[in-house]
Chain A
Amino acid sequence: MTTAALRVEKAGPTTSGGPQKERRRSIRSPYPSWFYIPAGVLYLVFFALPTFSSFYFALTRWTLFSQQFIGFGNFVQFFQTPALTQGFVNTLIYGFVTSAAKVVLGLGLALLLTSPIFGRGYLRAVVFFPVLVSTVGVGLTWKALLDPFHGVVNQVLGFFHLPQPGWYTDPHLALLTVAGVDIWKGVGIATLIFMAGIVAIPSEYFEAARVDGAGAWQVFRNVTLPLVRPAMATVIILSLIGGLRSFDLIWAMTNGGPGFSSDVIASVIYKQYQAGFFGLSTAGNVILFLVVTAIMLPVQWFLNRREAEL
């Protein structure tokens, strides 16, 4: 009875009067390909189409209503303007500094928070708190805390007679200050992913290592580190992508300043857009695209390869 009912029901929605073969296939596969379509349409219209058209618009002088083809003029302009070139360099510094710090600190915190220490539940919650606050909120809060004259941080430093740097007013420090706040905000996610990775390691491995007389460092080096590699790959990939594209924290804290000292490609894109240079802005986007892809493809390949070897 069930088979017959199934046959009738399944044959209904498929192409009417289709050949017997096709009908039988639809019975065997209850996984209709049209499940791709809803997501696919969104992806095509709001992601793929803008991305592909950006390669053309980057070569134009563009106002959204009219466009004039100017070849590689935008790119020439981008790399000839010192401020824009600095944005390029800053993007790389920012991306690698934040990503490296999140890997190291995240792994350290995850090790600490998966070991049986006092106050573990509280510590886990508090490390994750900054993730919940909006980037703009975090930026404004740290701007107040790091205020060169009234800020709490410099007040404390002054109390101990330590130098009180102009955290985001000193051109040499501004980019790293923002990177530091980014690490403060994002380390909770890295810690969470590492914690999930460490918890997933079967406890027999640790027991076996201890029976063999391995010390804490040896256990970490030879058991935890290799087995936590999938989590590490996730953290590196996510934080690197986020760091290279970062915009909102920089915009909330410094607007790319002082001067252009904390500008990254993403903030340059916004400034050019704001000024009405849509073609130049889109060229910046294409450059960001090339930078992120050129870095992420080898990183992805390398991380996946190491994973496969395990």
Chain B
Amino acid sequence: MTFRRFTRKYLLGIIAILVSVVVFLVPFIFIVLQAAKDPKQAGLMGFTWPTDWQISKNFIDVIQTNDYQLLAAFINSIVLTVVSVAIMVVFAAMVGYLLQRKRTRLNHLVNFLVLAGLIVPPAVVPTIWVLQGLGIFDTLVGMILVEATFGLSFAILLFRAFVATIPRELDEAAIIDGAGAMRLFFQVILPLLRPVVVTVVVVQAVAVFNDFTGPLYFLPGSDNPTVQLTLYNFQSQSVSQFNLLFMNILLITIPPLIMYIFFNRQIVAGMTSGAVKG
């Protein structure tokens, strides 16, 4: 019995680790190694140790490409991510809260629309038509509003499920203490939603930051590049500079990675309370 438990715990674990190294770590090590090579060696695509370790030179080179386009793209992507996720969180929390607390005939309609928003693929060209009508096509403002809209449904589902775990007595206590609807929501409820807020922020920030299709349609041209567009255009322009291409991939992976390292535990907690029950 003890021998069986030992094999279960260690043997299985060691096999899993070996498989994970091959399947999951090798591609990441490959990215880092490629990013450190000189152009000639990187072009060979081999899984080899860099003969000439030039990670800082590649870093500077990739940033300087096209008049510091990557820096501009980073700023754009970060603004896009922060603003659209902030809008998403506040608006979706308001809807999720109301859906859970107030039972009216409207609920069925709203629930249906939320589900439709999750399932229905966005109609891209007509969206461009709407953005042009509003005069915000190919602008960061337009892109922010579109990203915020596309993320609403998923966020609402998570919030709705979580609000159910907050006792109504709390609302009543706040009302008796004289809080209005705004204060009740923003000062009592929203702080209590923290675990889901973290989940929504991390999941949606990674999604928006990594989104490629949205900017491809709604931010064409090179006026407002995002990091994903810059990466895509980079690979189609310079076939010979694989070291810079992989340096680019490495750099734009860092922001999501930092988010994940900080919020790792809360994501699982938020998922447990929200996604699975919903």
Interface of B is mostly: helix
The contact size tier of chain B is: 35 or more
Q: Which 8 A-B pairs have the closest CB atoms?
A: A118-B13, A54-B123, A50-B126, A134-B210, A150-B45, A117-B13, A39-B91, A31-B102
Asked if A142 and B10 make an inter-chain contact with CB atoms under 8 angstroms apart, the answer reads no
Asked if A140 and B121 make an inter-chain contact with CB atoms under 8 angstroms apart, the answer reads no
Chain B minimum-CB-distance residue to A67:
B129
Asked if B181 and A266 make an inter-chain contact with CB atoms under 8 angstroms apart, the answer reads no
Q: Which of B8, B12, B24, B145 has the most CB of A within 10 A?
A: B24
Give the distance to chain A from B143, nearest Cβ to Cβ, in Å: 11
Give the distance to chain B from A232, nearest Cβ to Cβ, in Å: 10
A199 at the A/B interface (Cβ < 8 Å)? yes
Chain B contacts of A132 at CB under 8 A?
206, 253, 256-257, 260
Proximity bits, A47-88, B CB within 8 Å = 1, else 0: 111110110010000101000000000000000000000000
Number of A interface residues at 8 Å Cβ cutoff, please give it. 94
Distance A116 CA – B127 CA, assembled complex (angstroms): 49
Asked if B9 and A128 make an inter-chain contact with CB atoms under 8 angstroms apart, the answer reads no
Asked if B271 and A192 make an inter-chain contact with CB atoms under 8 angstroms apart, the answer reads yes
Distance A13 CA – B34 CA, assembled complex (angstroms): 62
B232 at the A/B interface (Cβ < 8 Å)? yes
Interface of A is mostly: helix
Asked if A140 and B249 make an inter-chain contact with CB atoms under 8 angstroms apart, the answer reads yes
Proximity bits, B1-38, A CB within 8 Å = 1, else 0: 00000001110111011001001111110110010000
Which residues of A are at the interface with B, using a C-beta cutoff of 8 A? 2, 5-6, 9-10, 13, 29-33, 35-36, 38-39, 42-43, 45-51, 53-54, 57, 62, 64, 112, 115-120, 122-123, 125-137, 140-142, 144-145, 147, 150-152, 155, 184, 192-193, 195-197, 199-200, 230-231, 234, 241, 244-245, 247-248, 251-252, 266, 269-270, 273, 278, 281-282, 285-286, 288-289, 292-293, 296, 300
Given contacts A38-B91, A252-B212, contact A152 B245 (CB under 8 A): no
Distance A269 CA – B148 CA, assembled complex (angstroms): 23
6 inter-chain pairs at a CB distance below 8 angstroms, sorted by A residue, are A47-B117, A123-B16, A133-B253, A134-B252, A292-B119, A300-B115
Distance A134 CA – B20 CA, assembled complex (angstroms): 20
Asked if B176 and A6 make an inter-chain contact with CB atoms under 8 angstroms apart, the answer reads yes
Given contacts A141-B27, A241-B119, A248-B213, contact A128 B260 (CB under 8 A): yes
Distance A54 CA – B115 CA, assembled complex (angstroms): 19
The residue from A120, A122, A197, A296 contacting B119, defined by CB atoms under 8 A apart: A296
Distance A62 CA – B12 CA, assembled complex (angstroms): 59
Interface positions of B from 64 to 121, Cβ below 8 Å from A: 87, 90-92, 94-95, 97-98, 101-102, 104, 106, 110, 113, 115, 117-121
B178 at the A/B interface (Cβ < 8 Å)? yes
Give the distance to chain B from A279, nearest Cβ to Cβ, in Å: 9
